[in-house]
């Protein structure tokens, strides 16, 4: 994990740069977002292979975690580039549920091991992992039940903020005769929870600011905004495909034909 912190940091910075570029309707913004998603997928795949070489199938939870992250990152990259494949949403949902299961497993173990040592810290760890699990569930159900996903995400954000407030107010906890912080205690579990919660927190901030109109939504100037609004409807499950195609796919085909005709007229 420690060997990849620098990569995680750089990719997170690139993710923010790509988001701001896309909000300014620069084409390269979406390319950066897609590239970052692919890069995350590759890094998780490398870690998955490394874990297999070191431990084989002994660490089942670790293997499920990395496999889920590889699939989720790759599918997010496909979403950025508006590539639709059969049953992609179901693969995304199953991967998300598998990831939620791994962190539920870690929650139970972490809470159980910490409770005899420091009850307050064990409750904070419970809140921390619970917020992550609910965030993942919100991400999974977003294409199917958007309203429920919104409420789940809001609950997860409240839990996460409560955790941060508690950490600020209570900086040290006594564990086995030593003073440790909540962040340090969580870091000792050596999982990807801190990275995922950081990304979820940034996404929640963006969603809140864009919904309230403080920040613009992510678009590209390659297609009109109507196209991306149709894409959003398809991805959030508020629109069902007709004859196997979503409206944005029909729109894109018609728009590309229109642009090609216009280019041909100008070149003649």
Q: What are the tens digits of pLDDT across the range 145-183?
A: 888 888 998 999 999 999 999 988 888 888 888 888 888
Residues 53 and 86 in one domain: yes
- Return the DSSP state at 2: G
121 pLDDT tier (thresholds 50, 70, 90): very high
Residues 260 and 135 in one domain: no
More confident residue, 20 or 160: 160
Residue that is written with structure tokens 């990807």 in the block: 192
Q: What are the tens digits of pLDDT across the range 48-57?
A: 999 999 988 8
The upper half-sphere exposure of residue 105, i.e. CA atoms within 13 Å in the direction of its Cβ, equals: 13
Identify the bridge partners of residue 245 per DSSP, sorted by sequence position. 242
Q: For the ranges 72-76, 122-126, 158-162, 235-239, which has the lowest average pLDDT?
A: 235-239
Total domains in the fold of the chain: 2
Residues 144 and 237 in one domain: no
Residues 164 and 177 in one domain: yes
Q: What are the tens digits of pLDDT across the range 187-217?
A: 888 788 888 888 888 777 766 655 666 556 6
Domain containing 263 equals 223-268
Phi and psi torsions of 180, nearest 5°:
-130, 155
């Amino acid at each position: 994990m420690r060997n990849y912190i620098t990569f995680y940091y750089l990719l997170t910075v690139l993710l923010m740069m790509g988001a701001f570029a896309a909000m300014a309707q620069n084409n390269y913004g979406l390319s950066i977002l897609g590239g970052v998603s692919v890069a995350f997928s590759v890094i998780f795949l490398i870690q998955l292979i490394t874990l297999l070489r070191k431990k084989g199938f002994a660490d089942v939870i670790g293997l499920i975690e990395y496999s889920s992250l590889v699939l989720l990152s790759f599918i997010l990259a496909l979403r950025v580039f508006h590539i639709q494949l059969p049953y992609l949403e179901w693969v995304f949902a199953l991967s998300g549920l598998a990831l939620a299961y791994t962190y539920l497993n870690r929650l139970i173990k972490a809470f159980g091991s910490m409770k005899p040592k420091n009850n307050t810290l064990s409750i904070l760890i419970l809140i921390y992992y619970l917020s992550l699990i609910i965030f993942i569930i919100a991400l999974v159900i977003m294409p199917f039940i958007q309203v429920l996903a919104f409420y789940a995400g809001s609950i997860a954000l409240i839990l996460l903020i409560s955790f941060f407030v508690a950490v600020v107010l209570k900086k040290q906890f006594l564990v086995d005769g030593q003073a440790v912080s909540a962040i340090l205690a969580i870091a000792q579990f050596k999982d990807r929870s801190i990275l995922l919660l950081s990304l979820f927190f940034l996404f929640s901030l963006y969603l809140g600011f864009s919904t309230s109109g403080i920040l613009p939504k992510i678009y590209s100037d390659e297609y009109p905004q109507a196209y991306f609004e149709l894409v959003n409807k398809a991805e959030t499950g508020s629109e069902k495909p007709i004859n196997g195609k979503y409206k944005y796919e029909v729109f894109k085909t018609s728009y590309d034909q229109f642009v090609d005709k216009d280019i041909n007229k100008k070149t003649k």
